[in-house]
Amino acid sequence: MAFSVSYFSCGEAIPIITHLEVLETNKMISEFHLDVRTITMGISLLSCCDSDIDRFNRKVYDRVCKCAENLVRTGEDIARTYGVPIVNKRIAVTPVAIAGAGCIGGPSAGPGSGRASFVSTAAALDKAAKAVGVNLIGGYTALIQKGSTEADKALVRSIPEALSATERVCSSVNVATSRNGINMNAVRKLGHIIKELAERTKEQDSFGCAKLVVFCNAVEDNPFMAGAFHGVGERDVVINVGVSGPGVVKRALEQVRGADFETLCETVKKTAFKVTRVGQLVAQEASKRLNVPFGIIDLSLAPTPAVRDSIAEILQEMGLEHAGAPGTTAAVAILNDNVKKGGIMASSYVGGLSGAFIPVSEDHAMVEAVQAGALTLEKLEAMTCVCSVGLDMAAIPGDTPPETISGIIADEMAIGMVNQKTTAVRIIPVWGKKAGDAVDFGGLFGTAPVMPVNGFSCKKFIERGGRIPPPVHSFKN
């Protein structure tokens, strides 16, 4: 059946998605694992502000449930209508440390400057996520790149308890920007926070750490978990869509095997254009049906553990024996840049992180590269200089010292700060596991080989504390 999708401007229908694009898309879906990875509804919680934590939590629960009551059903309806798999329906909210700041010192805050208060807020978010049927809700977040308020401190302290006591709540902490430098006090603290969270969730192979991301240059419209939050510069409610299709890109490159780099780049760019058009279709439909403004499309090639749905397989198709071989960083740079170029030609509102994710556990060929000895933590760090985010879903030995974890975070934050890009760390010190062991997180999170960590100490460096100033090129007024 031939059809097209249109929008109206000045009373005239203008075609957006043609029937030929839809037919081609059907093939990408059926054969090459193209999917819409997530429809994420961003919800502002600023109208929920209150000095009483109990009232605040009730307002948060009611607002999330009211705004997102039709989100899951709408996503399922769109998937049936167009035959486009929509894997996840998610919610991102205003950073809780901002929205809930008025509760610190309020009548219900109690001792500990609000520690228990924000844990109860995480419980309210988790309850709301279950009520509306989304699989994850992000925004248990603090933005502390230059310093911390009392609310920020309370939230960060509460992360291990909050994430271990909830099922669907995700947390993020922004500790650095190119403009402000790196808050090394926060980096030092987070090494201990991650270790505590790993211990609290040791019965689940420290899975709680998979729900916590540490950022440099975090963006306000990222629809992907665990780092999604609804920025204070956003509208009250907005729909952001994340599209993924590494299998489609790999298949396209198979058709130009052995061609020169110009051809390779053009192929990635054209394929990314087509994938983004699918996101445009889904975003427009979701926005219209929910009567919620459309925000951005995030075209991030995010792998899954399934064969033929892998970033590392793309790198192999480019000519590398394994991810991690010499040339890998250049290959990731090519992929990331041309995905972005193709995306921005397909939509005026490409945002989020958009590019290529390189998580270890979520990509079967990345796991194979680690097992073969081709890919190390240090090589992954080099690849993060040119990928769309950072060191993601890397499992390390459970006895790794907290200062070493802080050092890994500091290195990744420095890459983001100096290169004026978003970088992140989602690292999992798996309790009771050592290098060479394996851990199975299940589902999209996959199986992770436990990677060895440099054993030399950085404790004295991390204990200096303070703030690393921004680089000189950050001053661009």
Per the prediction, the chain carries an average pLDDT of: 87
**pTM over the 0.95 mark:** no
Listed range (6-15, 157-166, 453-462) with the worst mean pLDDT: 6-15
Q: Do 212 and 251 reside in the same domain of the chain?
A: no
> Per the domain annotation, does 326 fall within a domain?
yes
Rounded to an integer, the average pLDDT of 155-172 is 95
Q: Do 148 and 56 reside in the same domain of the chain?
A: yes
What are the tens digits of pLDDT across the range 385-443?
998 888 888 999 999 999 999 999 999 999 999 999 999 999 999 999 999 898 888 77
Q: Do 194 and 312 reside in the same domain of the chain?
A: no
Which of 216, 251, 284 is the last residue in one of the domains? Answer: 216
CATH number reported for the structural domain that contains residue 183 in this entry? 3.20.70.20
Percent of the chain with pLDDT over 90: 59
Instruction: Please list, in sequence order, all residues whose beta carbon lies within 8 angstroms of the beta carbon of residue 216, skipping any fewer than 6 positions away.
Output: 145, 174, 175, 176, 177, 178, 182, 390, 412, 413, 415, 416, 417, 422, 423, 424
Residues in the chain, how many? Answer: 477
317 pLDDT band (50/70/90 cuts)?
Answer: very high
Q: Do 149 and 258 reside in the same domain of the chain?
A: no
Nearest-angstrom CA–CA distance, 371 and 365: 10
- What local confidence, expressed as pLDDT, does residue 99 receive? 94
Rounded to an integer, the average pLDDT of 123-127 is 96
Domain carrying residue 40: 36-74+85-216
Q: Do 118 and 247 reside in the same domain of the chain?
A: no
> Per the domain annotation, does 48 fall within a domain?
yes
Nearest-angstrom CA–CA distance, 222 and 225: 8
> Per the domain annotation, does 11 fall within a domain?
no
Q: Do 448 and 305 reside in the same domain of the chain?
A: yes
What are the tens digits of pLDDT across the range 227-284?
899 999 999 999 998 888 888 888 889 989 999 999 999 999 988 888 888 888 888 8
> Per the domain annotation, does 53 fall within a domain?
yes
Q: Do 279 and 208 reside in the same domain of the chain?
A: no
Rounded to an integer, the average pLDDT of 308-335 is 92
Residue owning tokens 């995010």: 302
> Per the domain annotation, does 13 fall within a domain?
no
Q: Do 209 and 350 reside in the same domain of the chain?
A: no
Q: Do 189 and 251 reside in the same domain of the chain?
A: no
Q: Do 155 and 294 reside in the same domain of the chain?
A: no
Which of 216, 234, 250 is the last residue in one of the domains? Answer: 216
**Number of domains into which the chain is organized:** 2
- What local confidence, expressed as pLDDT, does residue 352 receive? 82
Are the C-beta atoms of residues 88 and 37 closer than 8 Å to each other?
Answer: yes
Which of 150, 182, 216 is the last residue in one of the domains? Answer: 216
Q: What share of the chain is helix, strand, coil (3-state, %, to 5)?
A: 45, 20, 35
Which one has a higher pLDDT value, 21 or 461?
A: 461
E strands present in 220-273: 237-244
Nearest-angstrom CA–CA distance, 193 and 443: 25
C-alpha distances (whole Å) from 258 to each of 254, 262, 332 are 9, 11, 17
Q: How far apart are the first and last CA of the chain?
A: 54
> Per the domain annotation, does 66 fall within a domain?
yes
- CB burial of residue 137 (10 Å; 0-12, 13-18, 19+): buried
Q: Do 303 and 400 reside in the same domain of the chain?
A: yes
Rounded to an integer, the average pLDDT of 53-67 is 95
Kindly state the helix (H) or strand (E) to which residue 294 belongs, with its residue range: strand 294-301
> Per the domain annotation, does 14 fall within a domain?
no
Nearest to 125 by CA among 184, 166, 182, 172: 166
Q: Do 155 and 303 reside in the same domain of the chain?
A: no
Listed range (27-31, 165-169, 333-337, 370-374) with the worst mean pLDDT: 27-31
> Per the domain annotation, does 156 fall within a domain?
yes
